[in-house]
Amino acid sequence: MKVTPLSDALGAEVIGIDLTSIDDPVFDEIHEAFLEYQLLVFRDQDLTPDAHIAFSERFGPIETRPDRPFTLPNYPEVTVLSNRLVDGEPMGVISAGDFWHTDLSFSEIPCRATFLHAREVAEEGGDTEWSNIYTAYDTLSAEMKERIADLKGIHVFDRRRNKRAQVDTQFANKADEVYGIPIPDAVHPMVRHHPETGRKSLYISPRFVVGIEGMGGDEAQPLLDELFAHQIRAEFRYRHKWQHGDLLMWDNPCLIHIGRGAIKPPGIRHMHRTMVLGDRPH
């Protein structure tokens, strides 16, 4: 197995691995690379849903939600992200991740790692970009670190309560159905410790964090705006152009990401996604 960094910010490509047949020593090497680079790219993988689930489950329990739209038939663990239409109806979530976020941070126990597998890619568009929130934290001024040390962000699933995120057009006429589901808000430290490395990250995102616990909007919103802008400085980021067969896995406690969309017709981007749960942020 060969591991080649993809940028100065984060990410590495792993060469010489077939994810359908890894033994424990190889798994340990992958795990180590994952902690070091936060995002791993495996090319030319051909994973059935079972194989995709089996690899994901080595990192933790898979998150499933009974009413999640667009899971694969008989596989509630696997969500389809796709712009393909069948009889005029979308086969998957079209614009998943269209604002900077870290997965499932609106949950009490958010996502540890996400595994996204490219079954089909468009010639143009559909990139995904990540930003390193370890580095975002590390590069804050000493005063800012002190100011936010004990603050907690309020994470909200419902886009209608977030002035920084619009309801996506796909779900606009059934927004109540999609966003009105009973998901309580989650309150997490704005500075969290990674469950394995112990490193601190700036654990907020414009898609999910709408306020700061115990702080009025006049103070909280400008502070959040400043931190959101800092989180996505160009030098913290890596942008991925997908190839057919890519399996990417990323570490949500230390990265935020965004789906760049802009798929040029008639391009089709069709992905399978699993997510595994992590720890309660602390």
Give the residues lining the site for ligand SIN (CB under 6 A): 81, 96-97, 128, 257, 259, 271, 273
User: In angstroms, what is the minimal distance from the CB of 161 to ligand SIN?
Assistant: 19
Q: Contact, 39 vs 248, CB < 8 A?
A: yes
User: In angstroms, what is the minimal distance from the CB of 116 to ligand SIN?
Assistant: 6
* Closest CB to ligand SIN among residues 159, 273: 273
**Cα–Cα distance, 12 to 16 (Å, whole number):** 13
User: In angstroms, what is the minimal distance from the CB of 214 to ligand SIN?
Assistant: 30
Q: Which residues contact 87 (CB under 8 A, 6 or more apart)?
A: none
For ligand SIN, the nearest residue by Cβ is 97
Dihedral over Cα of 93, 109, 242, 258: its sign: positive
* Closest CB to ligand SIN among residues 188, 269: 269
User: In angstroms, what is the minimal distance from the CB of 87 to ligand SIN?
Assistant: 23
* Closest CB to ligand SIN among residues 104, 148: 104
Amino acid identity, residue 119? R
User: In angstroms, what is the minimal distance from the CB of 179 to ligand SIN?
Assistant: 16
Spatial CA neighbour of 200 closest among 149, 245, 156: 149
Integer angstrom CA distances of residue 80 from 20, 94, 121, 244, 275: 20, 9, 13, 15, 12
Write out the two tokens for 151.
């603050």
* Closest CB to ligand SIN among residues 85, 149: 85
* Closest CB to ligand SIN among residues 152, 158: 158
Q: Contact, 206 vs 99, CB < 8 A?
A: yes
User: In angstroms, what is the minimal distance from the CB of 122 to ligand SIN?
Assistant: 12
* Closest CB to ligand SIN among residues 114, 201: 114
User: In angstroms, what is the minimal distance from the CB of 89 to ligand SIN?
Assistant: 19
Residue 247 backbone phi and psi in degrees, to 5: -120, 120
* Closest CB to ligand SIN among residues 212, 238: 238
Give one DSSP letter per residue of 20-62, joined into a string: TS--HHHHHHHHHHHHHHSEEEE-S----HHHHHHHHHTTSPB
